[in-house]
C-alpha cells in the first residue's frame, strides 16, 4: 500500500492515491475501535458465566478471610492463656506454658498465611498494565493518523508526499519515454492487482468477524423479547429478578453494538477502497494501452522513415552512377550522398527517441554554437565547396589565380583546393612541379580569385611599338595589322567558337574578338598598340611570331618608321 500511495506520477494518480490513503486510515481507525470494544466485553461479563480469573480471585478472597478469622481466634486464645499464666503456679503453670507456646505457634502461622494471601490478592487486583487494552492503546499510538484526536491535542502533521510529476503526454513523447512509461504502468498495475487481492482478503476476514457478532446480537434481542413477553407477577422478588435480567441483556446489547458498528463501517470503507483500487487500475490500463499504441506507432514510423531514406539513397546512387560520367565528380556526389544519409538517419533517430524537445533544442543550440566557433574554418570550407563546384565554380584543368598564386586546378576536395603551380618570367607560364593546397574557405577571403569564364580558353595580348620622329602612321598601321591578321587566321575559328559558347551560357551579347589597333602621340614620338586574342596554351608561340613579323617588316622597310636609321621599341604585354 505504501509503495503505491506514496509514489503518484501525475495529478490523476495523486487524486486516486489521496482518496485511497484516507480510506485506509479510516479502516484502521475503525479496526482499533472494534478492538477496544471487544477488549471491554470480558470485564462486563455477568456472574452467570464468570471467567477463570474472577473465580480464582473469589477463592483467594475466601481463603484470605478464613485465614484472618483463624489468626484472630488464635490470638484471642493466646491472650486468654497469658492471663491464666499470671495466676497459675506449680505443675499447672508448666502445662499452661506449653499450651501457650503451641497456641503462639499456631497464631504466628495463621498470621503469616493471612498476610501472604492478602499480598497475593493485592498483586492480582492491581491494574493490568500489560493487558490487551494497554497493548491496543500502544499499537494505536504507533499510528498517529489513525489515533482519535483528543481535545487540546494538536493533530499530527500529514506525511510529506513527493510532488507529482507533470502529466505524461504520449503523443509528444519519444520511444525512450514511451518505453519507460509502459514498464512503469505495467509495474503499477501489478501492484494494484496485488493490493486488490489483499483488500478482498481483508473484506472476507471482516465478514468472518461480523458473523458471530450478528448471531450474538440476534440472540440478545431474542432473549430480551422473551423476557419482556413474560406475564406480569405480583411477587416483588420475581420482578427484581426480571429487571436484573433485562438490564444484563441491555448491557450485553450495548457492548455487542459497540463492536458491530465499527465493523460495519469498516466493511463499507473496505468496499470503497477496493472500488477505488479497481477504478485506479482501470485508468492505468487505459493509459497503458495508449502509451503502448503510441510506442508501436513510433517504431513503425521510424522503420518506414528509415526504409524511405535508404530507398532514396539507393536511387540517388544509381542515378549518380548512370548520369554523372566524370569520375571525380561522381565520387564527390557519392561522398555527399553518404553524408546526407548519415545526418538524416542520425536526426531521425534522435527525434524518435528523445522526449524533451525543449531540452534537446537548448542543448543543440549551445552545442551548435560551440561547434561553429571551434570548427569555423572547416564549416566555411564545406560551404565554399558547393560554391566551387557550382555553375560559376572551377573545374579540373581551369587556370585560376588565388591569393597571388597562379596554377591549374588539379582537384577540388570537400575541404581543400589543389593547384598545379605555374610560374615563369615570360608571357607563357610553365608548371613549377609543386602542388599548392588552399582550404576552400579562401573563397570567402577579401583577396580576389581570378579564373577564366566557362568555355573560354583565350586571353588578350598587346604589342606596343614606339617610334621617334614623324612616321607614316596610316601605312604603318595597315602593314602591322596585315601581319597580325595572317597569324590570327590560323586559330580564328577556335576563338570564335569559344566566344559563341560563352554567349550561349551567359545569355549576353558581346562583339566577337578580333585584332585591333590604337595610335596615340607620346613625348618621344608616336605609339601604336596592336591587340589580338590568343589561346592560353599558345601565348608564347603567338607572341614570338607576332614580334618576329614586326621586326622583319620594319627592317625590310625602314621608311615606314618615318626616318631611315631611326630606333624603335617593341613591348609585348597582357591586353
Say if residue 352 is exposed, middle or buried (CB neighbours under 10 Å; 0-12, 13-18, 19+).
middle
Residue 231 is classified by DSSP as P
SS3 of the chain: helix, strand, coil, percent, to 5: 65, 10, 20
Is-contact 539 459, C-beta < 8 A? yes
Q: Please provide the average confidence, as pLDDT, over all residues in the chain.
A: 75
pLDDT mean over 296-323: 91
Contacting residues for 408 by C-beta, under 8 A, at least 6 apart: 397, 398, 399, 400, 419, 420, 422, 431
Q: Over 90: is that where the pLDDT of 194 sits? A: no
- pLDDT at 148 (0 to 100): 54
- pLDDT at 307 (0 to 100): 94
- pLDDT at 508 (0 to 100): 73
- pLDDT at 303 (0 to 100): 92
Cα 21 from Cα 264, distance rounded (Å): 19
Is-contact 438 550, C-beta < 8 A? no
Cell numbers of 510, please? 558581346
Task: Output 355 or 427, whichever has higher pLDDT.
Answer: 355
pLDDT mean over 417-434: 79
Q: Over 60: is that where the pLDDT of 155 sits? A: no
Q: Over 50: is that where the pLDDT of 153 sits? A: no
C-alpha 271, offset from chain centre: 38
Q: Over 70: is that where the pLDDT of 165 sits? A: no
Q: What number does CATH give the domain 377-451?
A: 2.30.30.60
Domain 458-574 has CATH 3.30.2010.20: no
Cα 55 from Cα 310, distance rounded (Å): 96
Rg (CA), the chain: 61
- pLDDT at 565 (0 to 100): 46
Distances (CA, A) of 358 to 178, 355, 364, 384: 17, 9, 10, 32
Cα 541 from Cα 543, distance rounded (Å): 6
Q: Tell whether the torsion through CA atoms of 50, 52, 58 and 63 is positive or negative.
A: positive
- pLDDT at 242 (0 to 100): 66
Q: At what angle do helices 473-488 and 539-556 cross, to 10 degrees?
A: 140
- pLDDT at 150 (0 to 100): 41
Q: Residue 569 — pLDDT band, cuts 50, 70, 90? A: low
Q: What angle do CA 279, 280, 283 make, to 5 degrees?
A: 85
Q: How many CB atoms lie within 10 A of CB 45?
A: 15
Q: Residue 555 — pLDDT band, cuts 50, 70, 90? A: confident
Query: What proportion of the chain, given as a percentage, has pLDDT over 90?
Result: 6
pLDDT in tens, 118-146: 766 665 555 544 455 555 666 666 666 55
Backbone angles phi, psi at 437, to 5 degrees: -110, 125
Is-contact 413 381, C-beta < 8 A? no
Q: Which residues pair with 407 in a beta bridge?
A: 400, 421
- Please list, residue by residue across 3-31, b when 16 or more beta carbons sit within 10 angstroms of its beta carbon and e when fewer do: ebbeebbeebbbebbebbbbbbebbbbbb
Contacting residues for 248 by C-beta, under 8 A, at least 6 apart: 46
Q: Over 80: is that where the pLDDT of 193 sits? A: yes
Alpha-carbon dihedral 50, 52, 57, 63, rounded to 10 degrees: 110
Q: Over 90: is that where the pLDDT of 505 sits? A: no
Cell numbers of 174, please? 519519444
Is-contact 342 328, C-beta < 8 A? no
Q: How many CB atoms lie within 10 A of CB 350?
A: 12
pLDDT in tens, 44-100: 444 444 555 556 567 767 777 877 887 788 788 778 878 887 777 766 776 777 677
pLDDT mean over 175-182: 85
DSSP string, 422-483: EE-SSSS-EEEEEEEEEEGGGGGSSS-EEEPPTT--EEEEEEEEEEES---HHHHHHHHHHH
Distances (CA, A) of 369 to 33, 366, 373: 68, 5, 6
Q: What is the pTM of this model?
A: 0.45
Task: Output 322 or 87, whichever has higher pLDDT.
Answer: 322
Say if residue 199 is exposed, middle or buried (CB neighbours under 10 Å; 0-12, 13-18, 19+).
buried
Query: What proportion of the chain, given as a percentage, has pLDDT over 70?
Result: 67
User: Domain ranges in the chain?
Assistant: 377-451, 458-574
Q: Residue 322 — pLDDT band, cuts 50, 70, 90? A: confident
pLDDT in tens, 535-546: 888 888 888 888
Q: Tell whether the torsion through CA atoms of 475, 481, 482 and 483 is positive or negative.
A: positive
pLDDT mean over 249-266: 72
Half-sphere exposure of 234 (CA within 13 A, CB side): 0
Report the residue count for the chain. 575
Which one, of 422, 423, 398, lies nearest residue 412 by Cα?
398
* Residue at grid coordinates 452467570: 48
Cell numbers of 341, please? 544519409
Q: How many CB atoms lie within 10 A of CB 118?
A: 15
Q: Residue 314 — pLDDT band, cuts 50, 70, 90? A: very high
Cα 279 from Cα 261, distance rounded (Å): 27
Residue 234 is classified by DSSP as S
Amino acid at each position: 500500500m505504501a509503495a503505491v500511495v506514496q509514489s503518484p506520477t501525475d495529478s490523476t494518480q495523486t487524486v486516486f492515491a489521496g482518496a485511497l490513503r484516507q480510506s485506509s486510515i479510516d479502516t484502521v481507525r475503525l479496526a482499533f475501535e472494534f478492538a477496544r470494544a471487544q477488549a471491554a466485553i470480558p470485564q462486563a461479563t455477568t456472574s452467570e458465566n464468570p471467567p477463570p480469573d474472577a473465580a480464582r480471585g473469589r477463592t483467594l478472597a475466601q481463603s484470605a478471610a478464613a485465614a484472618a478469622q483463624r489468626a484472630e481466634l488464635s490470638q484471642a486464645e493466646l491472650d486468654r492463656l497469658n492471663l491464666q499464666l499470671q495466676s497459675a503456679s506449680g505443675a499447672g503453670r508448666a502445662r499452661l506454658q506449653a499450651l501457650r507456646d503451641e497456641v503462639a505457634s499456631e497464631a504466628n502461622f495463621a498470621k503469616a498465611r493471612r498476610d501472604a494471601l492478602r499480598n497475593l490478592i493485592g498483586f492480582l487486583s492491581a491494574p493490568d498494565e500489560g493487558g490487551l487494552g494497554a497493548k491496543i492503546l500502544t499499537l494505536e499510538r504507533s499510528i498517529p493518523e489513525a489515533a482519535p484526536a483528543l481535545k487540546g491535542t494538536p493533530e499530527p502533521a500529514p506525511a510529506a508526499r513527493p510532488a507529482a510529476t507533470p502529466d505524461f503526454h504520449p503523443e509528444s513523447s519519444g520511444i525512450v519515454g514511451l518505453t519507460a512509461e509502459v514498464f512503469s504502468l505495467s509495474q503499477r498495475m501489478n501492484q494494484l492487482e496485488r493490493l486488490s487481492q489483499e483488500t478482498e482478503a481483508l473484506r472476507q476476514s471482516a465478514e468472518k468477524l461480523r458473523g458471530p457478532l450478528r448471531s450474538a446480537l440476534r440472540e440478545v434481542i431474542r432473549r430480551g423479547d422473551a423476557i419482556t413477553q413474560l406475564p406480569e407477577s405480583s411477587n416483588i422478588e420475581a420482578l427484581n429478578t426480571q429487571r436484573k435480567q433485562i438490564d444484563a441483556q441491555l448491557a450485553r446489547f450495548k457492548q455487542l453494538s459497540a463492536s458491530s458498528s465499527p465493523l460495519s463501517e469498516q466493511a463499507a470503507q473496505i468496499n470503497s477502497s477496493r472500488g477505488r483500487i479497481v477504478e485506479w487500475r482501470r485508468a492505468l490500463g487505459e493509459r497503458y494501452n495508449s502509451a503502448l499504441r503510441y510506442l508501436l506507432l513510433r517504431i513503425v514510423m521510424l522503420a518506414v522513415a528509415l526504409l524511405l531514406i535508404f530507398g532514396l539513397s539507393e536511387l540517388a546512387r544509381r542515378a549518380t552512377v548512370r548520369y554523372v560520367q566524370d569520375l571525380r565528380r561522381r565520387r564527390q556526389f557519392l561522398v555527399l550522398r553518404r553524408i546526407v544519409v548519415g545526418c538524416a538517419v542520425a536526426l531521425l533517430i534522435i527525434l524518435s527517441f528523445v522526449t524533451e524537445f525543449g531540452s534537446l533544442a537548448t542543448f543543440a543550440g549551445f552545442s551548435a554554437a560551440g561547434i561553429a566557433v571551434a570548427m569555423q574554418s572547416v564549416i566555411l570550407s564545406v560551404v565554399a565547396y558547393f560554391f566551387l563546384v557550382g555553375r560559376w565554380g572551377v573545374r579540373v584543368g581551369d587556370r585560376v589565380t588565388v591569393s597571388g598564386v597562379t596554377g591549374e586546378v588539379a582537384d577540388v576536395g570537400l575541404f581543400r583546393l589543389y593547384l598545379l603551380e605555374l610560374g615563369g618570367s615570360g608571357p607563357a607560364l610553365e608548371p613549377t612541379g609543386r602542388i599548392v593546397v588552399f582550404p576552400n574557405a579562401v573563397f570567402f577571403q577579401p583577396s580576389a580569385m581570378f579564373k577564366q569564364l566557362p568555355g573560354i580558353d583565350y586571353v588578350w595580348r598587346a604589342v606596343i611599338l614606339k617610334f621617334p620622329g614623324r612616321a607614316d602612321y596610316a601605312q604603318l598601321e595597315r602593314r602591322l595589322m596585315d601581319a597580325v591578321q595572317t597569324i590570327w587566321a590560323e586559330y580564328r575559328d577556335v576563338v570564335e567558337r569559344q566566344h559563341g559558347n560563352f554567349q550561349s551560357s551567359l545569355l549576353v551579347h558581346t562583339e566577337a574578338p578580333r585584332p585591333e589597333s590604337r595610335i596615340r602621340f607620346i613625348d618621344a614620338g608616336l605609339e601604336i598598340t596592336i591587340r589580338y586574342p590568343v589561346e592560353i596554351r599558345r601565348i608564347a608561340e603567338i607572341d614570338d611570331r607576332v614580334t618576329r613579323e614586326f621586326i622583319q617588316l620594319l627592317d625590310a622597310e625602314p621608311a615606314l618608321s618615318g626616318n631611315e636609321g631611326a630606333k624603335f621599341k617593341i613591348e609585348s604585354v597582357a591586353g
